[in-house]
Structure 1
Amino acid sequence: MTILVTGGAGFIGSNFVLDWLRGSDEPVVNLDALTYAGNLENLASLDGDARHVFVRGDIGDRALVDTLLAEHRPRAVVHFAAESHVDRSIHGPGEFIRTNVNGTYTLLEAARGFWSTLPEAVRAQFRFHHVSTDEVYGSLAPDAPAFTETHPFEPNSPYSASKAASDHLVRAWHHTYGLPVLTTNCSNNYGPFHFPEKLIPLLIVNALAGKPLPVYGDGRQVRDWLYVGDHCSAIRTVLERGRPGETYNVGGWNEKPNIEIVHTVCALLDELRPDPAGPHARLITHVKDRPGHDRRYAIDARKIERELGWRPAETFETGIRKTVAWYLDHADWVARVQSGAYRDWLQRHYGETA
């Protein structure tokens, strides 16, 4: 028994791989292209662990994916690999189409080819789990009900449009070919190993360095925040008990405006790492809003609770404290990510510069 994880060196993917192997001896084949946000240091605790097989490669490489499926014969594919940063998608949408749309298509076709060769009993147990985002649903008015699994797709950025396209492909491969797929659409994740271009790690890193804390527009954009450990447990639950062809929204029940997140992080840093220069909130700096910035996301996660019994274990208060403490305790990791030194691993092992 083995699972194939794509994007398992990224933020959510590496947390999932670590979480999986803490609770199971079932091996993981980890396929990651190690683009800028892929970091094998996240998985350093697995060095020498035979249960973790790392393969550097692209999900768009059909021959490689076919080889991995034939060699390791996984019972499931858990698909995290994606370009995921909205700002980057605005400046360079092509890479998002290549990875999120074309890459998912290639992976689906490879999985379908492998699945079709399996004995009937094994075929019935196979799963293709596609990890997606609440951003495919677009933006909500302040008083609108939260996103349910039947909410229409209304993506507003190149990133969310590329993820919406991949969701549609996954659905179509189930309904057309019978591939047993599962899709989860999650809200904003936060926690350990988060690359410091996203809001929470950026706030922590900048505040510790005495740099401005950038807030888009008025900072009243609302997001639902999900601790990454809870997201991992939800994926395990859906993979184990989810119904093929179904979509499950995964949220933290933590709707908060961005400006509140900023003040919460500042207050925690004031408590845990006070700055002699004064409260960290002095560094808050409002900047011009980005194009197509969705005003509000909110996840209705009642379906996964009702059907599968999953609910997040962390409140925002417990999760954000754990997150700030983790960054304070892992200053070396942060420094290597910021300097790019973590990329030296690629040079040493592959003789190239990524």
Structure 2
Amino acid sequence: MDDALVIGGTRFIGRHLVEELLEHDYDVTILNRGSHENPFVDDDRVDRVEGDRANEAALEAAATTIDPDAVFDCVAYQPRDVREATRIFEDCEAYVYVSSGSAYGREDIPKREDETPLEPCTPDQATDDSSESYGNRKAEGDRAVFAAAEQGVNAMSVRPPVVYGPHDYTERLDWWIDRVNRFDRVVVPGDGTNVWHRAYVEDVASALRIVAERGEPGEAYNVGDRRLVTLAEMVELIADRLATDIEIVTAGPRELAAGDIELDDYVLYRDYPHVLSTAKLADLGWEATPPAEAMERAVDAHLESDRDGSEHGPDRDAEERVLGILDTV
């Protein structure tokens, strides 16, 4: 494959995917609305077509003018997006849909592509755009991929959990980096052993390329850090990169109540472990970045940015009340 179309391509996963494809000698075209700054505007290796991926005519035009070998769909948020794209690009060598680990509908440990059932999706959920229906819509998009493959389309799916790394506009990890960077004592909810599988963004990008090149039509592939770390271990990795000494203070529901804080007020906290098996992807030859190396890059990018994650997590005054209670115990 030589020519790739990335639907999206300028913000986070898509941005890293474009860089991954360029490193592997693809000719890349991005399709987006132009509502965000284009980091490739001065790169003559990357063409851009303006259009809304929700507009069927825009996709039709891209299919005709670009005729890509591989299509990577980074911004398909409703099942109809996937159904339209797999029809329009039915003749391409690979269509890869960015799904999500939230598509799984049962709390298996780990969640496996061919065993763990997916979330159901009602007609109302399929056309919704709220966070509550996100997993349902991604699951229905997966089912659209499977249906297309049954009709002979080389369609595949990649399911990441929470993605982190440079250019992460969600700022979820930034909140934790900012906490470690500013305070000597860092409150961690629960006992610190919470596990929410995460995926380093460059690993997601390489997974998308490898699935396009080596994956099987009609298959889904989980992607995530090969070695998982707990929430407390994640904080320690951040502190190591910042070369700072911190005290991790764990706090349960009773202690957090002193600051009117609940466990799930903390971003990247999940009560029940969320773990995806990545063995199927590894069998294609994919390799993950070691967590310490991935965190180094994420922390360095945070320090070079103006992101602080302030929209996430409890405020420090509330945490100080919690710490005050713990100091008297």
Same fold (TM over 0.5): yes
Distance 2:187 2:33 in 1: 30
8 Å Cα contact 2:8-2:73 kept in structure 1: yes
Q: Structure 1: any 5+ residue segments left out of the alignment?
A: 83-98, 116-122, 339-354
8 Å Cα contact 1:266-1:280 kept in structure 2: no
- Residue 131 of structure 1 pairs with residue 98 of structure 2: yes
Letter paired with 1:262: V
Superposed displacement of residue 50, structure 1? 2.4
- Residue 78 of structure 1 pairs with residue 66 of structure 2: no
Per-residue CA distance 1:98-119 (angstroms, 9 max, x = gap): x33232233233223xx3xxxx
Per-residue CA distance 1:294-321 (angstroms, 9 max, x = gap): 6222122222223x22222x21122112
Superposed displacement of residue 289, structure 1? 4.5
8 Å Cα contact 1:224-1:253 kept in structure 2: no
In structure 1, the partner of 2:296 is: 321
In structure 2, the partner of 1:311 is: 287
In structure 1, the partner of 2:314 is: none
SS at 1:66 equivalent: helix
In structure 2, the partner of 1:193 is: 167
- Residue 151 of structure 1 pairs with residue 128 of structure 2: no
In structure 1, the partner of 2:17 is: 16
Which structure has greater helix proportion?
1
SS at 2:280 equivalent: helix
Distance 2:106 2:187 in 1: 22
- TM-score when normalising by structure 1: 0.70
Distance 2:105 2:189 in 1: 18
Q: How does 1:289-304 map to 2 (within 5 A)?
A: 289-290=263-264, 295-304=272-281
Distance 1:58 1:214 in 2: 42
In structure 2, the partner of 1:40 is: 37
Per-residue CA distance 1:79-126 (angstroms, 9 max, x = gap): 1115xxxxxxxxxxxxxxxx33232233233223xx3xxxxxxx6xx2
**How many positions carry a matched residue from both structures?**
290
Distance 1:168 1:9 in 2: 27
SS at 1:223 equivalent: coil
Q: How does 1:30-109 map to 2 (within 5 A)?
A: 30-33=30-33, 39-40=36-37, 43=39, 46-82=40-76, 99-109=77-87
In structure 1, the partner of 2:126 is: none
Question: Would the alpha carbon gap of residues 262 and 34 (structure 1) be closer, same or farther in structure 2, given more than 3 Å must change?
Answer: farther
Question: Would the alpha carbon gap of residues 179 and 257 (structure 1) be closer, same or farther in structure 2, given more than 3 Å must change?
Answer: same
8 Å Cα contact 1:137-1:147 kept in structure 2: no
Distance 2:135 2:192 in 1: 20
- TM-score when normalising by structure 2: 0.75
- Residue 2 of structure 1 pairs with residue 7 of structure 2: no
Question: Would the alpha carbon gap of residues 282 and 131 (structure 1) be closer, same or farther in structure 2, given more than 3 Å must change?
Answer: same
- Residue 111 of structure 1 pairs with residue 89 of structure 2: yes
CA RMSD of aligned residues (A): 3.5
Identical counterparts, % of pairs:
26
8 Å Cα contact 1:139-1:295 kept in structure 2: no
Distance 1:2 1:52 in 2: 11
Q: Structure 2: any 5+ residue segments left out of the alignment?
A: 121-130, 311-329
Letter paired with 1:7: G
In structure 2, the partner of 1:202 is: 175
Question: Would the alpha carbon gap of residues 137 and 281 (structure 1) be closer, same or farther in structure 2, given more than 3 Å must change?
Answer: same
Question: Would the alpha carbon gap of residues 154 and 220 (structure 1) be closer, same or farther in structure 2, given more than 3 Å must change?
Answer: farther
Per-residue CA distance 1:305-346 (angstroms, 9 max, x = gap): 23x22222x211221122112222x236x48x99xxxxxxxx
In structure 1, the partner of 2:141 is: 166
Superposed displacement of residue 189, structure 1? 2.2
In structure 1, the partner of 2:152 is: 178
8 Å Cα contact 1:195-1:201 kept in structure 2: no
Distance 1:194 1:296 in 2: 23
Question: Would the alpha carbon gap of residues 214 and 280 (structure 1) be closer, same or farther in structure 2, given more than 3 Å must change?
Answer: closer
SS at 1:9 equivalent: coil
SS at 2:197 equivalent: strand
